[in-house]
Amino acid sequence: MPRAGLTPAAVVDHALELIDAHGPESLTLAAVAARAGVATPSLYKHVPGGLPELRRLIAVRVTEELAERLAASVVGLGSPQGPSRDEAMTALLNAYLDYAEQHPRRYAALPQAPDQDPERTRAADQLVGVIIAVLNGYGLTGDESVHAARTVRSTAHGFASLSAGGAFQLAANLTVTRERLIRVVVEGLRAWPGTG
């Protein structure tokens, strides 16, 4: 019988605590079981697919967390034309980079490539949907919104990954770099083909 209080969601919580403390490479069923206070075989009652399923559940959770963070940051800012679209994009990029900065190891565990898993697809669609909604405020739809969303995601992911990995070693203030990066994206979107 499964341990009282231990659920698939609780197993993911323990796994994320482990990742936050020691990085994604530390993820093993034995380490998660130790955190949960159970024997390793007991985890299979909650995560029958073992480590691959646990990694999948983590990917879904982290994607959902990031999507929810982005959505909360832009509530009421993204729809109208004009200055609020810039505020919404600035808020979205800051929320994205804040999440990666606050949870660098968790962010590193976030897969970037799509797969056929319905839950991951739903979570990824939610994440991209927030970005597309903000881009709609610039009048971008169809292929142009897709091109712009790819640009926004690759810019945010690149900065987040390099920053989390300690790649920025020069003495210049990183906050200033971040602010200028966001300004470049916002100004680029204003001049994007098809912008209304």
Q: Please give the average per-residue pLDDT across 125-145, as a whole number.
A: 93
pLDDT of residue 111: 81
* Secondary element (H or E) of residue 127: helix 118-136
**Domains defined for the chain, CATH in brackets:** 1-48 (1.10.10.60), 56-190 (1.10.357.10)
pLDDT of residue 49: 92
To 10 degrees, what angle do helices 50-74 and 8-22 make? 80
C-alpha separations of 9 from 42, 62, 72, 104, 185 in Å? 15, 12, 22, 21, 36
pLDDT digits (tens, 9 = 90+) for 56-82: 999 999 999 999 999 999 986 645 454
What is the rounded CA–CA span in Å between residue 129 and residue 176?
28
pLDDT digits (tens, 9 = 90+) for 34-45: 999 999 999 999
